[in-house]
Amino acid sequence: MTDPAGYEPRAAPPAVDGYRRLRQVTGLSPKSEAQAAAAIAGTWSWRTALAADGSIAAMGRVVGDGGWCFLIADMATLPEHQGRGLGRAILVALLDEIRERAEPGAYVTLTADPPGRRLYEPLGFDDVAPGRTGMHQVL
């Protein structure tokens, strides 16, 4: 991951409390401590960015089978650190790792709020809705 000025990039997950806080502050759905621990343990690849004081400023991860199917998840940057290229640096690093470790033809998907389009579309993501059905279920 290219180091945006003043941040330390890491190919490692955040701690459970940092993961939960970043999700909560950035408006992602809240997760229990057990859910957070399972998400951290079950992730194929992580990228985080630490601020100068050592606190987590941004994160992103890939969940997948390691073969052809990959999901970009938990892309989040604290509001006070937004606009500095952290999200893009994390996403580029995750995509580079997929390219390096997976065979050609890997399928990468994500779900994003509308403001996320300005991050994802310039990096080659297309809307899957035309001619397809996007669905989800929360249990």
Q: pLDDT by residue (tens digit) across 98-130?
A: 999 999 999 999 988 788 889 999 999 988 766
Residue 128 lies in a domain: no
pTM of this prediction? 0.91
Question: Would you say 43 and 94 are in contact if contact means Cβ atoms under 8 Å apart?
Answer: no
Distance CA 51, CA 91 (A): 18
pLDDT of 3 reads 67
**Dmax (CA) of the chain:** 47
Distance CA 8, CA 17 (A): 19
Residue 1 lies in a domain: no
Residue 132 lies in a domain: no
Residue 64 lies in a domain: yes
Q: How many helices (H) and strands (E) does the chain have?
A: 4, 5
Residue 112 lies in a domain: yes
Question: Which pair of tokens denotes residue 51?
Answer: 């601020």
CB atoms within 10 A of CB 81: 19
Residue 2 lies in a domain: no
Answer whether residue 10 shows pLDDT above 70. Answer: yes
Residue 108 lies in a domain: yes
Domain hosting 17: range is 8-123
Residue 135 lies in a domain: no
- Here the CATH number for the domain that contains residue 68 is 3.40.630.30
Mean pLDDT confidence for 68-96:
96
Distance CA 19, CA 51 (A): 15
- Count of domains for the chain: 1
